[in-house]
Structure 1
Amino acid sequence: MNVPPAAVLLLILVSVRDAHSISLASSPVRRLPWQYRSLTKRLGLSKPFRERLQRPISNSYNLPVPDYFRVSATTRNIRLRNFNDNIYYGTITIGTPGQKFNVVFDTDAKLTWVPSTSRSFRQSFRELTESFDVGQNSMRQGPNRRNRGTTNKYDNKLSSTYEANGRPFVVSYGSEAASGFRSQDNMEIAGATIYNQIFGEATLEPKMFSGSMIDGIFGLGFSGISAGEELTVLDNMVNQGLLPAPIFSFYHSRYGTDDPDSVLTLGGTNPEYYTGDFTFINLSRPDRWQFEIDRVQFSDGVGTNRGQKCQAVLDTGSSFIVGPRDDVDELHAWLGATPLEGDPTLYMFERYQLEILPDLEFIVNGQKLTLTSKDYVSKFPDEVTGGFYSGIAGKTFKEGESPVWTLGLNFLRTYYTQFDKGNRRVGFANAT
């Protein structure tokens, strides 16, 4: 039975760990005083050296940025492309001149990483074997002959603003991982340049990224609290005066509607994409977009978590809602769903069931966050059976590990969501 590859990719991501072109404000270009720019040219300094002079050295040490490097702090909109409601991705550039990358903006990741032209032996060997056609005993021709991983790769030798860091990183995705080393360079997003941003150069990428339109991950989690850990891109943007507040908000469109694009707003919210007031919930952890839920239930009162409170995390890197296996099995048994052959953590519904499925409710601080069956059931039928996949998957937690619900894209499409780092809270409003 075939599960959409993009959905599997995003489900694995969660198991372990421009859309609208109108800007809320213009983004003036950073420029040095004309006397300084003219002097560097008259002295005949090379472009790379001029760029190093023009870079605010103070940012390397988290010091205030000189006034002539600042632009006005403003909210910034980033267009996100919607791929079948399973992946939402946007574009960033790294280096001078800029090298473009398509990234998933992941709220459950700290480090931003992209593929590197520097390859590990393991990655190089895997690419060689995957591109070798045993049946014909020859290398595949045409488009498949290229690297089986992602297309865009960062080459630090091409950037005049690159600085070595070298500290290794590993990010696990199920049984696979992205690994490599950290580097420092300028990064551009939504017309703003972030100086001296530390990010990961992946020399080994998970197979799940092969053939994907995604190059890497843009971390929207919290900066590490341990000594020596780098600041996230969002925190650096606030420190460098590019954003008015450490806030970001998502509008996720629905595939097949008149509004196919989605928007990530950095620095605040965009009223064009929500109605009414926000319902705010304080975070229960200082290092994750996690909060407490009173109860998970259906609209007729049938529920789970046995009357006990539980935890939930918001994750834009997951296309599913994921819950403790026992609770998810119980919910689907009551709904009459069928476990997926070969993967009992997933369920399917018959077409006739779709019209009678109840709403799913998450009770938080006595208030209901409600999803209809159209929100938690896939709109795409299985090619073989004609059934429809449930958007609620089960996960078995290790002994001693606290069960946590993950609210992925099928939840976030229903609500315009504000992530407020400064006040350690999240806010929900009805999406337009």
Structure 2
Amino acid sequence: MWGLALALLCLPLGEGMLRIPLRRGRSVQEVMREKGLPEGFLNNLRGDPGRKYQLGGAVAYEPLLNHLDTFYFGEIGIGTPPQNFLVIFDTGSANLWVPSTYCQSPACGDHARFNHSLSSTFLGTDVSYTLSYGFGDVAVVLGCDTVTIQNIILRNQEFGLSLDEPSRPFYYLGFDGILGMAYPGVAISGFPTFLQNLLQQDQLSKPLFSFYFSRNPTYNYGGEVILGGVDLQLFSGEVLWAPVVQELYWKISIEGFSIGLSVTGWCSRGCHGIVDTGTFLLTIPGQFLPALLQALGAEQSDYGFLVDCSSVPEMPTLYFAIGGAWLPLPPAAYVLQNDSICTVGVESTYVSSASGQPLWILGNLFLRQYYSIFDTANNRVGFATAA
């Protein structure tokens, strides 16, 4: 599908590799609370994050349900001369879209908007589609233009120009749009994706990319996306490889799950996990959530699944069996602390894989522990302990 073969070498950054710094945005909850909005306002935005992996006709299900907590984004330019946008580099979708001057809703007006009349290289189309969310739809019309990321210049890149965006939660988000990095099978048919164009226009030295998320992110530095290679200084130890089991999303097998030393039977018949940089929380199959919360001593509240902050060091480490090894996720990674409030950073999905396996979403909470490498030629995901 990707048209290139790869013998992966762990190379430092060099020619054909691009480092994109990521910023860590404030959470939507932080912004809303500053504006004095009630907790019930936040609860109305909740939905099933697994819904975005259900494909259907001209409707593309995109991430955002989990951005109520936090998000990471970097800068790109679109058009000639470039108009700059902050976008999420998202392995859970495959389309690029940004707000546009076609959109007059408050959510668009509060963000950078693409003005096609100011670009000498813009080509319009009459193709439109819908991004469907648990709390509303975003209508988009497609166009083609030059996309610039530092020294990379992509010609004739398809992207979506928003026509309308619901104010909740888009008005409160610190990023403008989304740049999808999943497989072409979940993109709008007939238009090359961002990754396909990178490879077809010989912009990368190797057909792979990698992510590093800082464990102590700030707005100015939340991590990095590296296009075309890996950075040996951002991880330690060997890379553990897991093959992709379905070339739509970056979906891998999870062979087992353990709470401390107690191995559960939840994945005895196999589970699937989607490695998704566009999701913040760890999303678990809904049927397992009550048992997990009980084992962790967490109680549901308006703030999330509360735990006593003083008990966090004694809470169990979670283990995922992936690629024949157990990958630990310590409580310091899966418990979120906001002032004096500690919550378990999990949510549930009642959507299973197409083949029936329980579905997990390995979001940023997991990926802050593990440097992740997305090998497009060999269809596999690599994990190594993040620096």
- The two structures have a TM-score, normalised by structure 1, of 0.72
- Secondary structure at the counterpart of residue 224 of structure 2: strand
Q: Report the counterpart of residue 103 of structure 1 in structure 2.
A: 87
Deviation for aligned residue 1:225: 7.3
Distance 1:274 1:304 in 2: 31
User: Structure 2 residue aligned with 1:426, among 378, 381, 384?
Assistant: 381
- Secondary structure at the counterpart of residue 330 of structure 1: helix
Q: Report the counterpart of residue 364 of structure 1 in structure 2.
A: 322
User: Structure 1 residue aligned with 2:309, among 315, 336, 351?
Assistant: 351
1:333-376 superposed Cα distances (whole Å, 9 cap, x missing partner): 122110124x8xx4111123212101100012330111100000
Distance 1:218 1:245 in 2: 20
User: Structure 2 residue aligned with 1:305, among 249, 256, 266?
Assistant: 266
- Secondary structure at the counterpart of residue 411 of structure 1: helix
Q: Report the counterpart of residue 188 of structure 1 in structure 2.
A: 148
Deviates more, 1:259-268 or 1:311-320: 259-268
- Uncovered stretches (5+) of structure 1, i.e. residues with no partner: 1-22, 26-72, 128-146
Q: Report the counterpart of residue 115 of structure 1 in structure 2.
A: 99
Distance 1:225 1:252 in 2: 25
Deviation for aligned residue 1:393: 1.2
User: Structure 2 residue aligned with 1:282, among 243, 250, 273?
Assistant: 243
1:198 and 2:158 aligned: yes
User: Structure 2 residue aligned with 1:326, among 279, 283, 287?
Assistant: 287
**Is the CA contact (8 Å cut-off) linking 1:295 and 1:308 kept in structure 2?**
no
1:271-317 superposed Cα distances (whole Å, 9 cap, x missing partner): 12111221000011011100111111112224251633111001111
- Secondary structure at the counterpart of residue 184 of structure 2: coil
Q: Report the counterpart of residue 10 of structure 1 in structure 2.
A: none
Deviates more, 1:358-367 or 1:169-178: 169-178
Deviation for aligned residue 1:227: 9.2
User: Structure 2 residue aligned with 1:91, among 67, 75, 78?
Assistant: 75
Greater fraction strand: 2
User: Structure 1 residue aligned with 2:351, among 382, 397, 406?
Assistant: 397
- Secondary structure at the counterpart of residue 247 of structure 2: coil
AA at the equivalent of 2:25: F
1:82 and 2:71 aligned: no
Q: Report the counterpart of residue 24 of structure 1 in structure 2.
A: 13
- Secondary structure at the counterpart of residue 198 of structure 2: helix
CA RMSD, Structure 1 to Structure 2 (Å): 2.5
Distance 1:347 1:304 in 2: 23
Distance 1:234 1:337 in 2: 40
Q: Report the counterpart of residue 135 of structure 2 in structure 1.
A: 175
1:240 and 2:201 aligned: yes
Deviation for aligned residue 1:228: 4.1
1:185-207 superposed Cα distances (whole Å, 9 cap, x missing partner): 00001311000000100111243
Greater fraction helix: 1
**Is the CA contact (8 Å cut-off) linking 1:150 and 1:212 kept in structure 2?**
no
Deviation for aligned residue 1:399: 11
1:393-423 superposed Cα distances (whole Å, 9 cap, x missing partner): 1223389875310011000000000001110
1:208 and 2:148 aligned: no
Distance 2:358 2:135 in 1: 20
Give the number of the structure whose alpha-carbon radius of gyration is greater: 1
User: Kindly, what percent of the aligned residue pairs are identical?
Assistant: 31
**Is the CA contact (8 Å cut-off) linking 2:255 and 2:267 kept in structure 1?**
no
**Is the CA contact (8 Å cut-off) linking 2:254 and 2:267 kept in structure 1?**
no
User: Structure 2 residue aligned with 1:156, among 89, 112, 116?
Assistant: 116
**Is the CA contact (8 Å cut-off) linking 2:100 and 2:108 kept in structure 1?**
no
- Secondary structure at the counterpart of residue 178 of structure 1: strand
AA at the equivalent of 1:160: S
Q: Report the counterpart of residue 270 of structure 1 in structure 2.
A: 231
AA at the equivalent of 1:99: Q
**Is the CA contact (8 Å cut-off) linking 1:170 and 1:178 kept in structure 2?**
yes
Distance 1:334 1:299 in 2: 10
**Is the CA contact (8 Å cut-off) linking 1:82 and 1:255 kept in structure 2?**
no
AA at the equivalent of 1:164: G
**Is the CA contact (8 Å cut-off) linking 1:293 and 1:311 kept in structure 2?**
yes
Do the aligned partners of residues 349 and 223 (structure 1) sit closer, same or farther apart at CA in structure 2, a change above 3 Å counting? same
**Is the CA contact (8 Å cut-off) linking 2:210 and 2:372 kept in structure 1?**
yes
- Secondary structure at the counterpart of residue 311 of structure 1: strand
AA at the equivalent of 1:183: G
- Uncovered stretches (5+) of structure 2, i.e. residues with no partner: 1-11, 27-68
Do the aligned partners of residues 268 and 99 (structure 1) sit closer, same or farther apart at CA in structure 2, a change above 3 Å counting? same
Deviates more, 1:217-226 or 1:86-95: 217-226
Distance 2:217 2:149 in 1: 27
- The two structures have a TM-score, normalised by structure 2, of 0.80
1:93-142 superposed Cα distances (whole Å, 9 cap, x missing partner): 000010000001110011000001013xxxx4x54xxxxxxxxxxxxxxx
1:47-91 superposed Cα distances (whole Å, 9 cap, x missing partner): xxxxxxxxxxxxxxxxxxxxxxxxxx6011101112358211100
Distance 2:267 2:100 in 1: 47
Distance 1:242 1:148 in 2: 31
**Is the CA contact (8 Å cut-off) linking 2:285 and 2:359 kept in structure 1?**
yes
